[in-house]
Chains A and B, each alone.
Chain A
Amino acid sequence: MLYRENGQFKSTYRADQQIFPIRQDRWFILALLVAAFVLVPAWATEYWLQAILIPFLILSLAAIGLNVLVGYCGQISIGSGAFMAVGAYAAWNFGVRLDLPLLAQILLGGVFAMLAGVAFGVPSLRIRGLYLAVTTLAAQFFMDWAFLRIPYFTNYSSSGNVSVPELAFFGLPVVTPAQKYLFVLCFVVVFGLLAKNLVRGAIGRQWMAIRDMDVAAAVIGIRPVYAKLTAFAVSSFIIGVAGALWAYVHLGSWEPLAFDLNRSLQLLFIIIIGGLGSIIGSFFGAAFMVLVPVLLTNVPRVLGLSLPVDLAAHIEHMVFGFLIVFFLIAEPHGLARLWSIAKEKLRIWPFPH
């Protein structure tokens, strides 16, 4: 009833090709943005901002980056944690050695992650699938090793741990949870829009063609080298920015362990659960990864049960694992697919599909 595009006629190509051709979607997203920018900072508690929303946003951004590579271009990577680390450490070095402004630090972190990503993307020109996954794994181990063992990267820190000073964005402080949240949100909105438009455009189509059948794509004139390396570049850039944000805004001080293999696998699970080849899926997956454990931790307390923490932790692991399996059985294409099915159903509601 409410959600129907009857009567919404398009008379220009532009109008027909916009991201949200349906008016209700446009309003919904606009309302969501207003809520995210205005209501959340005003209403959310510190705990929600610091422990839930900020990690959720940064992981969403990293997942968008990984989705470009894995979901849209079909190049499996289990080394995204390494590129996050490159982004974080490069940004930190620019900050501590050259004292550049914060935005420049973070973007340069992204640029260096991009260079690393392209370098490790080169093997993808010759190998595919699982073999490529193993080379990205090599990237992961190499970066872990480099940041642990090469003292230059940590500015000769005696413990190998580095930390950032108080952040300021062109004179505006980024100190309170609400400021940090807004800072991260701006990045996520800008990069989300950027990624969405890239995957809708010519370059995104090239990536998808390579993903679906690279030989056929090459036959119709798509250059695999160009397509694969741009996917690696864009993906690593976004992941690098997310890594810099994770280190700067969420952790504040970190060791290489913050970007180990577990982080890479976590990102991979996020996009698998959220939906491969979908921008909104990155958000759903990140929400699932961040929110569900927190909810599970808090459910016993809300219900007034006092479980011992170790038992609660074990139950949480089991339930979380079960939920992952359940959702993937219910919908192998991830939460994003469930979302679009729901929208389909809404369109012809109240009639059954």
Chain B
Amino acid sequence: MKHALTKTTTAIVLAAAGLVGVSSTAQAAEEDFIPLLVYRTGSFAPLGIPWADGKLDYLKLVNARDGGVNGVKISYEECETAYSTDKGVECYERLKDKSGGATGFDTQSTGITFAVTDRAMVDGRSVVTVGYGLSQSADGRVFKWNFPLLGTYWTAADVMIQDIAKNLGGEDKLKGKKIALIYHDSPFGKEPIPLLEERAKANGFELQLYPVAAPGVEQKSTWLQVRKNRPDFVLLWSAGIMTPTAIREAQSVGYPRDKMYGVWWASSETDVQDLGDAAKGYHGITIQNSAEHGRVHDDVKKYVYDKGQGSDTNGKSFGSIAYTRGMMISMLQVEAIRTAQEKFGKGKHMTPEQVRWGYENLNLDEARLEQLGFAKLMRPVKTTCENHMGTDWARIIQWDGKKFKVVSDWYQSNPKYVRPLVQSLGEKYATEKKLPVRNCAAE
């Protein structure tokens, strides 16, 4: 016993000594580092695994096919968060200074986003939240380091309402309708509420709110209320286990699935696969058009998988919606580095500050997306100092029992409702945090 104890202690001490040795960051000559915060374990793993695989594979592709960005290799390291904020913060701290500074953090969690946003402002690291995070952080005047690219939860909510209106035959038809929001009771689930309230006021529909306590396996009472109050449509702000649970409950109270709309985290194949026909008709939404297949998939296959370098070892995640979204995120990060290089010197290592400029001046037009192999998957993106979101296109998809089919054209959120909210809540944030508001015209 005593010996074992001594040995353990020695091992721990040795490991600690090793850790100290490692924590000194080596400045690599010419590489740019992209940290990969992922959750391959924990309750959200079914969503996290394909997402992480997509992010990783695209970076492997860039290194294998193009030899990096203008000859600058992309280095990367995964760090497991299990969707826990504490671990996310630890990952952020561990990776932020690697190889001359991490170029941008896609945190994969609203909670971690909140926790690192503050630190990132002080440290000067970009936080890239593609389709999630703080909706008001689209306001680049207040949120210098945050980039909710391609859309926020307000995008999703607004597009859903637009799609409902279109199917009814016009926004005036929304009057007197009842729309329910069934949401995960956390900042993530509450994000769309301000926008939906604005919409309800403007369009004259009644908004019903049903919070569901995390993790969302207990929804009996919620759906009994749904049965009683009979909303015309249900918007579902869920993730992980909450989604299939909601669809099953809808089935048991006889609520039509084709009146349901799930946010992007509730619109992956993994959410509805096991339900099959029970989920038939259920609507989801995709950021841009991540349900499609583009040329980039073929490239990944050719340069990564055929060489045995692929991350998806059991053939489950490649090409799924979450996987494609992961690739998009990595693509945006790589393009930010490229944009920065065009200004600050091609083939050079970029500092986090320079890459931030790259995120703020992204301009991916049709031709560029075609070159990248993303033409079918997304629409052009352009960011500015005021607008850190770029252009928020989204499409509605529908589950036919076997797979998701794209059932709508492109939608964009209505600036009439979104912009004032971004400004007012952004300014509120700035006053609470005593932050300076940038003057974009002067920069």
Residues of A within 8 A of B (CB): 45-48, 50-51, 55, 96, 148-149, 155, 158-166, 175-176, 250-255, 257-258, 291-292, 294-295, 298-299, 301-303, 308-310, 312-314, 323, 326, 330
Cα(A50)–Cα(B86), bound, Å = 11
B residues touching A (Cβ–Cβ < 8 Å)? 1, 5, 8, 12, 15-16, 18-19, 21-24, 38, 40-41, 45, 49, 78-80, 82, 85-86, 89-90, 93-94, 97, 110-111, 114-115, 117-119, 122, 134-135, 185-188, 190-191, 193-194, 211, 214, 425, 429, 432-435
For residue A163, which residues in chain B have a CB less than 8 angstroms away from its CB?
A: 114, 117-118, 429, 432-433
User: Do A253 and B41 touch (CB < 8 A)?
Assistant: no
**With a CB–CB cut-off of 8 A, which chain B residues contact A291?**
16
Q: When the two chains form their complex, are residues A253 and B115 in contact, meaning their CB atoms are under 8 A apart?
A: yes
Q: How far is the CB of A39 from chain B (nearest CB, A)?
A: 14
CB of A310 within 8 A of CB of B80, answer: yes
Once bound together, how far apart are the Cα atoms of A46 and B89, in whole Å? 13
| B115-A159 in contact (CB<8A) | no
Question: Does the CB pair A313–B40 fall under 8 Å?
Answer: yes
Chain B residue nearest to A151 in the complex (CB): B190
Kindly provide the distance from the CB of A304 to the nearest chain B CB, expressed in whole angstroms.
10
Chain A residue nearest to B49 (CB atoms) is A310
Q: Are B90 and A159 in contact (CB under 8 A)?
A: no
22 contacts between A and B (CB under 8 A): A45-B24, A47-B23, A51-B89, A148-B185, A148-B186, A158-B193, A158-B194, A160-B187, A161-B134, A166-B433, A252-B115, A253-B114, A255-B187, A257-B214, A298-B15, A302-B15, A302-B21, A309-B38, A309-B78, A309-B80, A312-B80, A326-B8
Q: Is the interface of A mostly helix, strand, loop or mixed?
A: helix
Residues of B within 8 A of A164 (CB): 118, 433
Docked complex Cα distance between A234 and B351 (Å): 48
Residues of B within 8 A of A252 (CB): 115, 117-119
Residues of A within 8 A of B24 (CB): 45
Which residue, of B12, B19, B435, has the highest number of chain A Cβ atoms within 10 A? B19
Q: Which 10 residue pairs across A and B have the least CB separation, nearest first?
A: A252-B118, A310-B40, A302-B18, A51-B93, A159-B187, A309-B80, A161-B187, A165-B434, A158-B194, A253-B114
Q: With a CB–CB cut-off of 8 A, which chain A residues contact B23?
A: 45, 47-48
Give the chain B neighbours of A258 by CB distance below 8 A.
85, 111
Contact residues in A for B211 (Cβ distance below 8 Å): 148-149
A295-B40 contact in complex given A252-B119, A255-B111, A255-B114, C-beta closer than 8 Å? no
Taking a contact as CB atoms closer than 8 A, the residue among B19, B41, B111, B190 that contacts A314 in the complex is: B41
Number of A-B contacts (CB under 8 A): 129
A residues within 8 A CB of B434?
Answer: 165-166
Q: Nearest Cβ distance between residue A142 and chain B, in whole angstroms?
A: 13
By a CB distance below 8 angstroms, the chain A residues around B194 are: 158
A45 to B93, CA, bound (A): 10
Cβ of A254: which chain B residues have Cβ within 8 Å of it? 85, 114-115
A46 surroundings in chain B (CB, below 8 A): 93, 97
Q: Which residues of B contact A176 (CB under 8 A)?
A: 122
Quick check: A301 and B22 within 8 Å, CB to CB? yes
Min CB distance B442 to A, Å, is 23
Q: What is the minimal beta-carbon distance from B8 to any residue of chain A, in angstroms?
A: 8
Closest A residue to B115 by CB, please name it.
A251
- Given the complex of chains A and B, what is the CA–CA distance between A158 and B154 in angstroms? 12
Contact A310 B15, beta carbon cutoff 8 Å:
no
A51 touches B94 (CB 8 A): yes
A155 touches B432 (CB 8 A): yes
Are B93 and A50 touching (Cβ within 8 A)?
A: yes
Chain B residues lying within 8 Å of A165, measured Cβ to Cβ, are: 432-435
- Report B-chain residues with C-beta under 8 Å of the C-beta of A308: 40, 78
The answer to whether B134 and A159 touch across the interface, beta carbons within 8 angstroms, is: yes
- Chain B positions within 8 Å of A330 at CB level: 1, 5
Q: What's the Cα separation between A326 and B434 when bound, in Å?
A: 49
User: In the complex, A206→B316 CA distance in Å?
Assistant: 62
Nearest chain-A residue to B9 (Cβ)? A338
A55 to B15, CA, bound (A): 20
Give the chain A neighbours of B432 by CB distance below 8 A: 96, 155, 162-163, 165
- Whether A298 contacts B19 in the complex (CB less than 8 A), given A164-B433, A252-B119, A253-B115, comes out as yes
Which residue on B lies nearest to A141, using beta carbons? Answer: B213
Determine which of B93, B111, B425 lies in contact with A257 in the assembled complex, contact meaning CB atoms within 8 Å. Answer: B111
Contact between chains at A251 and B22 (CB < 8 Å):
no
CB of B39 to closest CB in A, whole Å? 9
> Which of A155, A257, A303, A323 sits near B85, CB closer than 8 Å?
A257
Closest to B91 in A: A51
Bound-state Cα–Cα, A55 to B89, Å: 11
A313 in contact with B114 (CB, 8 Å): no
- Which interface residue of A175, A295, A330 has the most chain B CB atoms within 10 A? A295
